Amino acid sequence: MPGLLLGDEAPNFQADTTHGPIRFHEFLGGSWGILFSHPRDFTPVCTTELGRAAKLAPEFAKRNIKMIALSIDDVKDHLSWSKDINAYNGDEITEKLPFPIIADAKRELAVQLGMLDPEERDKDGIPLTARVVFVFGPDKKLKLSILYPATTGRNFDEILRVVDSLQLTAAKKVATPVDWKPGDQVMVIPSLSDEEAKKLFPGGVCAKNLPSGKNYLRYTPQPQ
């Protein structure tokens, strides 16, 4: 069955993009990566999304994340569409965006990665590419997958928040609770004993008393 599951290695596909041909693993190098797909060029929701992604490109760069988009049209259309995206942002009207857009005119990559939306179809009755977000770690493995229907735009501030959580929890033995934001308290993972937690987190560990008597809600300041 096509598609990627958490922990799967990204396929090392070759593709034409607005920044030239790529091989995906070489494009990622040793960085984190985000791949976000779009149903079609010159469509309203996609234009707002790519505009927001372009504005947030410096934030992704700070986090050592390579950005790359995918849409089902060809490179020529992508380049023309990029002018509209820059105009939407109020920026200089050029064909240049801070990240490449993959050309997937035959939907081959969308099928391989499990990105098609069976409910949303174009005028010819062909399934559109859904709004998928894949985040890959430096090991090229899938760390996060979010799937939106074609009719719902993504929240890129939330994607940044999730990336912050992924990178923090990959480096430290913590988890992030509901609605966590960078700088908030984090949770000690259940596999750590109280003694281990005290040694690892000099900022202190605070446990919430619960009716069950179980000591599993343990908080600590976000480690640096």
Annotated catalytic residue within 46, 53, 135, 186: 46
Using CA atoms, how far apart are residues 75 and 214, in angstroms rounded to an integer? 57
Is residue 46 part of the annotated active site? The answer reads yes
The DSSP bridge partners found for residue 206 are 219
Kind and range of the H or E run holding 101: strand 101-103
Closest to 70 (Cα-Cα) out of 33, 97, 109, 98: 109
The C-alpha atoms of residue 23 and residue 175 are separated, in whole angstroms, by 33
Adjacent-strand bridge partners of 196: none
Q: Are strands 116-121 and 14-15 parallel, antiparallel or unpaired?
A: unpaired
Q: How far apart are CA 134 and CA 54, in angstroms?
A: 17
Structural contact between residues 66 and 102, judged by C-beta atoms closer than 8 angstroms: no
Catalytic residues, by residue number, are 46
